[in-house]
Amino acid sequence: MATVIRSADTLTRDALAVLQPGFTGTTAPDWVLRRLDEGLVSVGLFGRNVHSPEQLSTLTGQLRGIREDLLVAVDEEGGDVTRLEVRGGSSFPGNLALGAVDDTALTRDVARELGRRLAGCGINLNWAPSADVNSNPANPVIGVRSFGADPLRVARHTAAYIEGLQSAGVAACTKHFPGHGDTAVDSHHDLPRITADLDTLQERELVPFRAAIAAGTRAVMSAHILLPALDAEHPATLSPAALHGLLRAPATEGGLGFDGLIVTDGMEMRAISATYGIERGSILAIAAGADAICVGGGLADEDTVRRLCDALVRAVRDGELPEERLADAAARVRALAHWTRSAGAGEGAAPAPGIGLIAARRALRLTSVTPYEPLTTPAYVAAFTPLANIAVGDDTPWGVAAELSRLLPGTRTATYTAEAAARTGTAALVDALLADAEDRPVVAVVRDVHRHPWMADALHTLLTARPRTAVVEMGVPQSPPQGTPHIATHGAARVCGQAAAEALTSVSMPLAAGAEGRC
């Protein structure tokens, strides 16, 4: 018997339901409000949509005035990746700092407070946490966004984060399945290829995702990565073997048994858009088992939504996408929206406004090979600044200069880049730095120095010329500690900078490798 395709209106509503589009502006455009009335169930917010908590609450209230059962999603990991505090830096350290402390109760408390603030602004779906095991130190896109390189540590903190976030009524979306840690390629720019075999995948990448599912994560986000051991042709987001055969299938069939919402990473990322295009990519993703299409980080207009909606409807009518698969995906989106309404908007989460700074202080690791005197006079902060990855963005401030200037008024700062080093040469760059610093104590701030040869060269040259330079590493502390002292913050959130500034000026700094870092 031939399959009976439902009405055009029903198909359109289902196609709209599986989209999670972004938009521009700090108020809702008319086209978004109209699409909500036509069947859109989700929207994604980004830094461009956020001016203040009050404005954000007004915006989400405006959206819910059209549709009460609305999923409002945001990419708020805390740490380096923040949307709520994109212009000032996050009040919460990121995953690597929490993993460094390795106190799951603290991780749970941080996530609960973050969830409480999200819920207070009307957000009920967070595209977090990152459950990636940062097994490749050269990884340009995960790094401090991971709880670490040990699968078991990542697993227990992923579970604690989910429990904390969802206790505040905000659905967690664990990412990036099946694991984006073992790559040196950023999927925003190209398609990463991960050569790990299936045994390695089971023993490393999948360990945190099993823990996330056991902890009750309401959603999982797919990664735009190619794993030939799993599927030699399709990236995970478009792979039935990854989404249906591995993530969705029950344990008895070799799967993880996840029954919640599967969300794609941004379809405008070049790992998908450059090869498939977002329309074709979206059809393949839904057919493979994805339920929601995230789009809007760079494409945030009505035309994108119209094209995606039309493409999905056409794919059903042409027999390319089973109508039952689209209906199932839409039902899963609506089911999560229903859960968020019944979960409560953070009503059970007691405020803990200082928990982020407490965590950042505990995450500090400070070493010094020679006695070190705390800073008491204005310093010169030399920020060796790499290009920011797209997930982090280049609008969010980082470093220690602002907090150090607060503690030591008159502190000055300057930024040094790879382009400057290439233009003048490392020796000339450091000579100019020291001339500008004059007799001030120098604080060199670096970020993933192990991944940037120019930065490592400049730091070595600086320390040779002025050995008593303090070094603050705000990325992954992969290189041996250098400087007097060397401070590893395990992230570049505002509170990490504050904790480092406090340590540089404190008379009671913990001068021991692996110390708890309480100031």
1: confidence class by pLDDT, cuts 50, 70, 90: very low
Residue 488, classed as helix, strand or coil, is strand
CA dist 394 and 258 (Å) reads 35
3: confidence class by pLDDT, cuts 50, 70, 90: low
Residue percentage of the chain with pLDDT more than 90: 81
Active site residue 188: yes
Q: What is the mean pLDDT of residues 127-151?
A: 94
Q: What are the pLDDT digits (tens) for 357-406?
A: 999 999 999 988 778 889 999 999 999 999 776 566 667 889 999 999 99
Which segments of 205-341 are extended strands (E)? 219-222, 261-263, 293-295
C-alpha distances in angstroms, 150 versus 202, 248, 316, 369, 437? 14, 25, 43, 28, 40
**H and E: helices and strands count for the chain:** 19, 14
Q: What are the pLDDT digits (tens) for 300-354?
A: 789 999 999 999 999 999 999 999 999 999 999 999 999 998 876 556 667 888 9
Among the listed residues 285, 167, 314, 274, the one whose alpha carbon sits nearest the alpha carbon of residue 221: 285
Burial of 271 (0-12, 13-18, 19+ CB in 10 A): buried
CB 320 within 8 A of CB 291: no
Least confident range from 4-13, 424-433, 504-513: namely 504-513
Beta bridge partners of 220: 174, 262
Residue 518 has pLDDT above 80, yes or no: no
Q: In the 8-state DSSP scheme, what is residue 237?
A: G
**HEC readout, 218-263:** CEEEECCCECCCCCCCCCHHHCHHHHHHHHHCCHHHCCCCCCCEEE
The secondary structure element, H or E, covering residue 384 is strand 380-384
Among the listed residues 358, 276, 282, the one whose alpha carbon sits nearest the alpha carbon of residue 98: 358
The secondary structure element, H or E, covering residue 367 is strand 365-367
Residue 495 has pLDDT above 60, yes or no: yes
- Report residue 141: phi and psi, to 5°: -125, -20
pLDDT at 514: 38
pLDDT at 28: 95
Residue 492 has pLDDT above 50, yes or no: yes
pLDDT at 515: 36
Q: What is the mean pLDDT of residues 488-512?
A: 84
Cis ω for the linkage preceding 409 (within 30 of 0): no
CB 209 within 8 A of CB 242: no
Q: What is the mean pLDDT of residues 145-163?
A: 98
Burial of 412 (0-12, 13-18, 19+ CB in 10 A): middle
Q: What is the largest CA-CA distance in the chain?
A: 86
Residue 298 has pLDDT above 50, yes or no: yes
CB 94 within 8 A of CB 79: yes
Tokens representing 452 are 């940037």
Q: What are the pLDDT digits (tens) for 401-439?
A: 999 999 999 999 999 999 999 999 999 999 999 999 999
Tokens representing 356 are 């982020």
pLDDT at 206: 97
CB atoms within 10 A of CB 415: 13
CB 281 within 8 A of CB 288: no
**Which residues are within 8 A (CB) of 369 and not within 5 positions of it... i.e. 6 or more apart?**
484
Active site residue 452: no
**HEC readout, 312-360:** HHHHHHCCCCCHHHHHHHHHHHHHHHHHHHHHCCCCCCCCCCCHHHHHH
Q: What is the mean pLDDT of residues 84-91?
A: 93
CB 383 within 8 A of CB 403: no
Q: What is the mean pLDDT of residues 4-31?
A: 90
Q: What are the pLDDT digits (tens) for 265-291?
A: 999 988 898 899 999 999 999 999 999
CB 363 within 8 A of CB 517: yes
CB 227 within 8 A of CB 183: no
CA dist 206 and 210 (Å) reads 6
Q: What are the pLDDT digits (tens) for 73-83?
A: 999 999 999 99
Residue from 157, 176, 188, 452 carrying the catalytic annotation: 188
Residue from 109, 132, 182, 265 carrying the catalytic annotation: 265
pLDDT at 512: 40
CB 470 within 8 A of CB 484: yes
Cα R_g (the chain), whole angstroms? 23
Looking only at the bridges linking them, the beta strands covering 486-488 and 365-367 are: antiparallel
Residue 95 has pLDDT above 60, yes or no: yes
Tokens representing 234 are 């399709």
pLDDT at 517: 31
pTM, 2 dp: 0.93
The secondary structure element, H or E, covering residue 174 is strand 171-177
Q: What is the mean pLDDT of residues 118-141?
A: 94
Q: Output the CA torsion sign for 96, 382, 139, 283.
A: positive
CA dist 264 and 244 (Å) reads 13
pLDDT at 187: 62
Residue percentage of the chain with pLDDT more than 70: 92
Q: What are the pLDDT digits (tens) for 170-205?
A: 999 999 999 998 887 666 666 788 888 999 999 999
